[in-house]
Amino acid sequence: MLDRQPVTGDAATLAGILAEGREPNLGDADLGGGEAGVTVLGAGEAMDLDEGAGGAGLGAPPNPPQPDVSTQASGEAMEPEAQDSVQARVVAYLEGRDKLTHAEYGRARRLAEDGGDPILRMLVRLGLVSERDLAQALSEVLGLPLADPTDFPEAPVAEGRLTLRFLKDNHVLPLREDDGALEAALADPTETFTLEALAMAADKPVRARIGLASEIDSALERLYEQPADKPAQAEGDLGDFDEEDIEHLKDLASEAPVIRMVNQIVQRAVDARASDIHIEPFADELKVRYRVDGILKEVDSPPVRSTAAIISRVKIMAKLNIAERRLPQDGRIPLRVQGKELDLRVSTVPTMFGESVVMRLLDKESVRFDLDSLGFDGSPRERLLSVLDLPYGILLVTGPTGSGKSTTLYTALARLNTQERKIITVEDPVEYQLPGINQIQVKAQIGMTFAGALRAIVRQDPDIIMVGEMRDLETARIAVQSALTGHVVLSTLHTNDAASGVTRLLDMGVEDYLLTSTVNGILAQRLVRRLCTHCRQPYRPLPELAAKLARVAGPASSKGTITLHRAVGCDRCGGTGYLGRMVITEVLLMSDGIRQAVLRHATASELQHIAIQEGMITMYDDGLRKAMEGRTTVEDVMRVAAADDGHLEDAGAIPDEAGEA
Ligand SMILES: [Zn+2]
C-alpha cells in the first residue's frame, strides 16, 4: 500500500513539492536528486499569512508541475508563500465545493492573524468547516492519502523519540516505521515545523498522510496514555523540541499552582529549620526531603506530573538556563520568607528521571558567628583562642563535608575583624558576606583558582588571609609563604581529625620544617544535634559505658552519679528530640613535642597520642562531656565521631552531608 503512494519523502520533499506548487496527483513523482528549490525557514520565523491568502494568490490556478523537485536534507522547509499558496488552494477547494464562503474565510483569517490557531485549524475551530471536509481538501490539494482509524497502529510507534506532548499539540500520529521512512498521520501537514520536527526526531524521511485531528487525538490517548499515565517519560524526552519546549516549560512554571507549590516547599523548609531542600525526580514520584539538624527527612511530595513545572520554576527563580537539562548548573535565589532574608543556593544535576535539585538555605540573619553559641567551650575553646591570638601563622580547620568548618572559619574571622586589620578571603563559594572583609569568589573556569587568587591577594597587603580550602600543593605553598612573611592564614583541610591534618600536608608535599614553623594549630570538628530540653529524658548509663564516661568526666565524678539523656520528641522539636546543632571539637597545638614528632615524620596516631598527653581533649571526649551535660546524646556523638582508642585511620561512619554548614 505504501508503495503506491504518489508522494513519499521527508519534510523537505513535501515542502519542496508544496513550494513548487506541483500537483502531485499526476503520478509517479521523480524524487531522486535535483536542485533544492527550497529555502530554509527558521522554525521560529513568523509567516505572513496575509500575503498569499488574502491577495491575488487566492483562487489563482496552481503552478504547472515541475519535474525537478528537491529531495535535499530534511532540515529544509517550504517558503512562506508556498505555504500560503497551499492554504489558498485548500480554501479555494472548499469554496469551490460550497463548504466555505469567502466572508467566513475572511473572518477566520482575521482571527488567525490576531494570534489564534493557524488558519486551517481556525476554520475547524470556528465550526466553519468540518474536520472531515478539511482533511478531504488537504488530501486533494496535497495529493496525500487520508489515514483512516482502521490504518492506525495497535501499539505506539517511534515511542521514546517523540513526546506525547509534541504529538498531541500538533495532532500527529506515527503510523508505522521502517528503515526508509516514518509514516505519520497529520491533521495539518502545511505546518512545516511539525514535519521538520518529526523528520529530525525520527532521523529519517516522513511519509505524511492526512488524518482528522479528533481521530488522531483519541488514538494518541488510547495508545500512549493507557494503561498507566507516563508523565515522567513524556516530560523526560523533551530535549528534541527545544524552542517550543522552553516556552511550554515557562508557561508551566508560571502557573499559579506551581508557584504556590514551590513557595510552599520553601516556606515549610524554613518552618522546619531545614538547612537543605532536596527535590528528586523518580519514575513514579517526585521526592521532597528536608535536611534538619543534619538528618534528611521526607516530606509531602507534589504530584509527579508537576515534576517538570516545579523544577523549571526553581530554575527560573535561580536564573538558571531552563533549556539546559543535561548539564549541572548552580545559582542562587535571594528570598524573603516571613520577613526573613534568605539566600537559597541552588544546584541542579541531571538524573535518570529529570534534574535533581538541591537548595541550601542560608539564613543571613539568624547565623551567629559566635564561638559560644556554636558550642565551643572549655579547653578546646581556650586552645582555639590562644591560636587566634598569635600574630602570624596558620590555623587549619578540618572535618568532612558538612561538619561546619566554614562557620567556624567565619567566626574566627569575625573575631579578628577590626579596623586595624585588612582581611581578604578566597572562597568557593562565598557563603556569607561579612562586613568589612574583602571576599573573592574562586572562578576556576576563568583561571581564578585558589592558588591564582591567593597569589594576587598577597600583593594586596592583607593582614589576614582566609583560603576556603587547601586543595593542592600550590595553594598550600602560597599559604605557607604568606605565613612566613607575617600573615595570619586560615584554611580548611578535608581530614577526619586534627593529627591527620599534619600528615595530609606532608603528603601533599609541604616541607616538614616549613610546616612546623608556620602551622600554629589544627582544629577538627563535627556537628552533633542538640537535645531538645523540653522533652529530653534522663537515664543512668550501663556500667561499662559509665566507666568510660568516668574517664572523661575526671576525678570530679564518682561512679553512679553519671546521668545521660535520651531523645524523646515533642511538638517543639518536631518529634525528633533534637533542636539545632553544635560542634564537638579538638584543637592540636604546635608544641615543641609535636614539632619534633613532625620533623621525624611520626604517624598521625603518634601525633594524636602526644597531643592527648599534652592535654588535648579529643572531639570524641568533647562530645561525651557534652552528652554528660545533657546537651546531646552519646548516640549522636558516636554517629559522627570515632571513639579514641588511639587514632583511627577512618573516623568513618560519617554520613556524607551536603555541603558545609
Ligand atoms: Zn522536644
CA of 293 to the centre of ligand 1 (A): 13
CA of 225 to the centre of ligand 1 (A): 47
Distance CA 327, CA 587 (A): 41
pLDDT band (50, 70, 90) for residue 79: low
pLDDT band (50, 70, 90) for residue 638: very high
Q: For 377-421, give the DSSP string.
A: -HHHHHHHHHHHTSSSEEEEEE-STTSSHHHHHHHHHHHH--TT-
pLDDT of 577: 94
Please give the angle made by the CA atoms of 556, 560 and 563, to the nearest 5 degrees. Answer: 85
CA of 571 to the centre of ligand 1 (A): 6
pLDDT of 524: 97
| Cβ(522)–Cβ(491) below 8 Å | no
At 467, give phi and psi (nearest 5°).
-110, 120
pLDDT of 242: 56
Q: Which of 142-151, 330-339, 371-380 has the highest mean pLDDT?
A: 371-380
Given its phi and psi angles, is residue 319 left (phi above 0), alpha (psi -120 to 50 degrees) or beta? left
CA of 624 to the centre of ligand 1 (A): 21
Mean pLDDT of 32-36: 33
Who wins on pLDDT, 169 or 537?
537
- What lies within 8 Å, CB to CB, of 474 at 6+ separation is 451
- Burial tier of 152 (Cβ tally within 10 Å: 0-12, 13-18, 19+): buried
Q: Is the pLDDT reported for residue 24 higher than 70?
A: no
pLDDT of 523: 98
pLDDT digits (tens, 9 = 90+) for 516-533: 999 999 999 999 999 999
pLDDT band (50, 70, 90) for residue 159: confident
Distance CA 533, CA 112 (A): 68
pLDDT band (50, 70, 90) for residue 72: very low
| Cβ(82)–Cβ(19) below 8 Å | yes
pLDDT of 379: 94
At 481, give phi and psi (nearest 5°).
-60, -45
Distance CA 308, CA 241 (A): 15
Mean pLDDT of 392-416: 94
pLDDT band (50, 70, 90) for residue 429: confident
| Cβ(127)–Cβ(83) below 8 Å | no
Calculate helix-pair angle for 378-388, 619-628, nearest 10 degrees.
130
pLDDT of 115: 59
pLDDT digits (tens, 9 = 90+) for 91-104: 899 998 888 888 88
For the chain, the 3-state helix, strand and coil shares in percent, each to the nearest 5, are 40, 20, 40
Give exposure, 158-168, as e/b (b: 16+ Cβ within 10 Å).
beebbbbbbbb
CA of 568 to the centre of ligand 1 (A): 7
CA of 632 to the centre of ligand 1 (A): 12
Least-confidence region, from 82-86, 243-247, 526-530: 243-247
Q: Which of 46-55, 352-361, 637-646 has the highest mean pLDDT?
A: 352-361
Q: pLDDT exceeding 70 applies to what percent of the chain? A: 80
CA of 633 to the centre of ligand 1 (A): 13
pLDDT digits (tens, 9 = 90+) for 199-211: 887 788 888 999 9
pLDDT of 280: 94
Q: pLDDT exceeding 90 applies to what percent of the chain? A: 40
Residue 324 in grid coordinates:
539546559
Mean pLDDT of 608-618: 96
CA of 273 to the centre of ligand 1 (A): 14
- What lies within 8 Å, CB to CB, of 440 at 6+ separation is 424, 425, 426, 427, 430, 448, 453, 457
CA of 531 to the centre of ligand 1 (A): 8
Mean pLDDT of 344-359: 91
pLDDT digits (tens, 9 = 90+) for 555-587: 655 555 789 999 999 999 988 999 999 999 999
| Cβ(438)–Cβ(396) below 8 Å | no
CA of 537 to the centre of ligand 1 (A): 10
Distance CA 482, CA 484 (A): 5
CA of 338 to the centre of ligand 1 (A): 24
CA of 536 to the centre of ligand 1 (A): 7
| Cβ(309)–Cβ(258) below 8 Å | yes
Nearest Cα residue to 182 out of 153, 209, 150, 204: 204
Mean pLDDT, rounded, of the chain: 79
CA of 347 to the centre of ligand 1 (A): 32
pLDDT band (50, 70, 90) for residue 41: very low
pLDDT band (50, 70, 90) for residue 365: low
pLDDT digits (tens, 9 = 90+) for 472-506: 899 999 999 999 999 999 999 999 999 999 999 99
CA distances from 532 to 389, 527, 529, 565, 580 (A): 35, 15, 9, 10, 8
Distance CA 409, CA 417 (A): 12
